[in-house]
Amino acid sequence: MKVLNLEGTEDTPKIILDKENGVFEISGRSLPEDSAEFFNPVLEWLEEYKDSANGETVFNFKLEYFNTASSKLILDILSKLEAVEGTKVVWYFHEDDEDMEEAGEEFSDLVEVPFEFETY
């Protein structure tokens, strides 16, 4: 599978989806002008990945901030991950960022994917 590697900007997160090296990460700030268009390649990549997934998939979210439109797409990503056997989400947040911690907890309640929470 082709690696999906999107460089982060001021308004969009860095995204690396690399099956061969087992790297699955979304990091930075997410407030793209058109969230659906921005995240569409991620959703398409995950749709293809689920049919030939690695035995274990550790998906890292290291978001500093995301807007409401992005939260819907993050939920869509997590919903796709429900179909991937052996998936675990690691939700990173700054230790003093209660909002990001709570966002991760809310997402973990909405999907059937194991979550771990890590501070940095």
Q: Residue 9 and residue 45: Cα distance in Å, rounded?
A: 21
Provide the pLDDT for residue 108.
98
State which residues form the domain around 38. 4-119
Q: Who contacts 67 (Cβ-Cβ below 8 Å, separation ≥6)?
A: 30, 31, 35
Q: Average model confidence (pLDDT) for the chain? A: 98
What pLDDT does 86 receive?
Answer: 97
Count of domains forming the chain: 1
Sign of the alpha-carbon torsion through 78, 115, 58, 63: positive
Can you tell me the mean pLDDT for 29-38?
98
Across the range 72-84, mean pLDDT stands at 98
For the stretch 42-73, pLDDT in tens is 999 999 999 999 999 999 999 999 999 999 99
**Which band of pLDDT confidence, cut at 50, 70 and 90, is reported for residue 36?**
very high
- In angstroms and rounded to an integer, the radius of gyration of the C-alpha atoms of the chain is 13
Confidence of residue 101 (pLDDT cuts 50, 70, 90): very high
